[in-house]
Structure 1
């Protein structure tokens, strides 16, 4: 594990892994969306509107996975001081926030015909909205820490760990409270969905997860390149001043 924290070794791996994840993810996600939108049957009660599930569920999963990545990277940074941990957290933040926003938008589009309203303040929707605000807060705190030349870098990591409390709240909200949102259809014990809906959904989740991984790797490479360029500029400025 410590070996992968070496920036040079990470860059060698990410150089071929990033395009592989992005390419495979785009192909798989497009194939799954095509299957779900044009080949899968309409649902008996919800009709054609159920097709938004093939985007909504992967977006919800990756919104939560993004913050889980921030929390794991934050813990690693605080405990082991891995040089790539903070970079990994920063790389997860923007795609995680985007997928969370997509989840909220598609959920509202789905909720209008299903519930007769765009929004209800129930546990699942409210905790997902809180997650989006947490992303915004973490990114602002991270940028402020970076602008202060790295002073107080522990603050984003601590915030990332504290914010992780919201992840189980999102997951169990439909069980803990009387929620307008339907209970989970896929659990460790099995699935309440028929195969005609389940398989394209699982393939879509796989494709979007690979896209997420590719974007995170691309952002980590970009952040590392930026840091290395700044370090060279500082060394050059010091040499000229001396």
Structure 2
């Protein structure tokens, strides 16, 4: 038993881990400096417009997270490889966190501009539906030992990603309170001046670096947990014999 335990992966603090953590920290610090000090205040909306850099960056990261859930779930159902299931679960947890940030920062930004905290605008409603879908995914995954629930969750993770396309469609095509895209407008132009565009890019990269750093750690933790549970089951079977 001791020999098997030694073979289990341990918490790793390798050079790559340290480098990734350092880069993430530096870029996040740079993003905060740009948002609160470097970038000028937008004239029409005032200081509240600075939420834009966190709100849109969180929305993009949320989209990447749920895309990984969809892709990893497809591979899991196809290959039946446990690692991809761990990746899907980890991405779903982080995706829900970033989706929650979108739902929090959105109303904070909207209150001074629209005069209300929340309105059942199609884009807002579809984002709330997306959050509920992946919360349901996590609830299905509460019992990780149930293979049938895991497969059902994988299917939900795949189908749920379709809501991302509806959100994008509502922003671009529907006439709603939610503003049209300003980062990349029709024709490939941007509605942001260079300083705001630079700040947005740094904030977006910071969010994505944080996401992938946490995803790597969370998936590794899930893998170690699975291997420990497998080892425990093997030991119990040996003791029964």
SS at match of 2:82: coil
Pairing of 1:28-67 with structure 2 (within 5 A): 28-67=27-66
Q: Is the contact between residue 97 and residue 135 of structure 1 (CA under 8 Å) also seen in structure 2?
A: yes
Q: Is the 8 A contact 2:140 2:150 kept in 1?
A: no
From the superposition, tell whether residues 18 and 125 of structure 1 become closer, same or farther in structure 2 (CA, over 3 Å).
farther
State the 1:205 CA deviation: 0.5
Partner of 2:128 in structure 1? 129
CA deviation map 1:10-52 (0-9, x unaligned): 9999965444333312220221121111121011201111111
> What is the TM-score with the length of structure 2 in the denominator?
0.89
Alignment length (residue pairs): 232
* In the alignment, structure 1 residue 178 sits paired with structure 2 residue 162: no
Distance 1:48 1:116 in 2: 16
CA RMSD of aligned residues (A): 2.2
Contact 2:134/2:157 (CA < 8 Å) preserved in 1?
A: no
Moved over 6 A (4+): 10-14
Does 2:221 correspond to 1:233? Answer: no
Q: TM-score, normalised by structure 1?
A: 0.88
> In the aligned structure 2, how far is the partner of 1:82 from the partner of 1:208?
28
Q: How far apart, in 2, do the equivalents of 1:24 and 1:69 lie?
A: 22
Deviations 1:105-150 (A, max 9, x none): 1111000111111111112111111111111100011223x143x2
Match of 2:209 in 1: 210
List runs of 5+ in structure 1 lacking aligned partners: 1-7
8 Å CA contact retained: 1:14, 1:217: no
Counterpart secondary structure, 1:191: coil
Deviation digits for residues 34-90 of structure 1 (CA, Å, limit 9, x no counterpart)? 111112101120111111112111111112221111001111112233332111001
* Alpha-carbon shift at residue 175 of structure 1 (Å): 2.2
Greater RCO (CA < 8 Å, at least 6 residues apart): 1
Q: Per the alignment, in what secondary structure is the counterpart of residue 46 of structure 1? A: coil
Cα offsets for 1:139-177 (capped at 9, x unmatched)? 011223x143x2343211111111111011111212232
For residues 1-242 of structure 1, the aligned pairs below 5 Å read 17-144=16-143, 146-148=144-146, 150-187=147-184, 189-242=188-241
Where does structure 2 lack aligned partners over 5 or more consecutive residues?
A: 1-6
